Amino acid sequence: MRVPRIALTVGDPAGIGPEIVAKAAADAAVRAVCEPVVFAPPAIEGMRVGEVSASAGQAAYDTLIRAVDAAKRGEVDAIATAPINKLAFAQAGLHWKGHTDLLAHLCGVERVAMMFHSPHLKVVLATVHVPLSAVPALITRDNIEGILALTAKWLPRFGVKAPRIAVAGLNPHAGEAGLLGTEDDEVLAPSVAAARARGIDAHGPFPADTVFVRASRGEFDCVVACYHDQGLIPVKLLAFGEAVNVTLGLPIIRTSVDHGTAFDIAGKGVADAGSMIAAVKLAALMAGATETSG
């Protein structure tokens, strides 16, 4: 029986990506479930390991393009990405803020979502790399209802057959009946009600200071968080180094690590490849499930 072929992209070559990809590709547990195919750029003249540069940002972009093209052609079954550097992208003149929005553009998809998958907690982000001041304007019914529908559609691919989805409140105490903000009552609650009317087992909004505890104890299968740090702090507290970033909504499978380029330790041989290994294994599991269902 053929094992899935998984593309491993090194991300920013000045960071720890090349090291963790090499470690993951050689890992016995990885090779037992897939055939890793490493995508890396050629040597870059003048690039210094551990330093942000336009040349490294461009190389990371070009490498991802090759991997996505390979996935579209069916040459690989999924992509697992090492981290890119947003500043390096900007210096290279690339306006994307990360893999997620770039992959949506490359695949021609309007609605995608960033999910963090771990044995302890699964979180989907309603907004991602935007300033905190911009978040309330992005918490709309269209956005939240779309995220809930996408989450409900994709969770069965991770073995959650009848997903129970909680929504974290935007404001303290989920707005306290409007006393601490109106978005929870005026946007989040109606969005949850609309999702339930469509057969989605959605709940909330609940105060964010307790909903992640409830989910980690098994009451919910996933939490939709309103903004980046609201969702990622609990995930990384419970599962840093083993959580996997998954892009929901793409026509291809893409997973990634739960950390950044770590320029401070790049090139020193001490980077922990745990999250990269977990990302490749989850990509292989998803690819195998897709192949079986197809």
Type of residue at 289: A
Number of H helices, E strands in the chain: 12, 10
For the chain, the 3-state helix, strand and coil shares in percent, each to the nearest 5, are 45, 15, 40
Question: What global pTM score does this model have?
Answer: 0.88
Q: What are the angstrom distances between the C-alpha of 177 and each of 20, 174, 203, 210, 230?
A: 47, 8, 16, 17, 20
Q: What is the pLDDT of residue 97?
A: 84
Domain annotation for the chain: domains and CATH numbers: 1-109+250-294 (3.40.718.10), 118-238 (3.40.718.10)
Q: What is the pLDDT of residue 212?
A: 98
Q: What is the pLDDT of residue 44?
A: 93
Which residue stretches of the chain have pLDDT < 70? 289-294
Residue 267: both structure tokens together:
């090139």
C-alpha–C-alpha distance, residues 130 and 207, integer Å: 22
State CA 105 to chain mean position distance. Answer: 16
Q: What is the pLDDT of residue 292?
A: 42
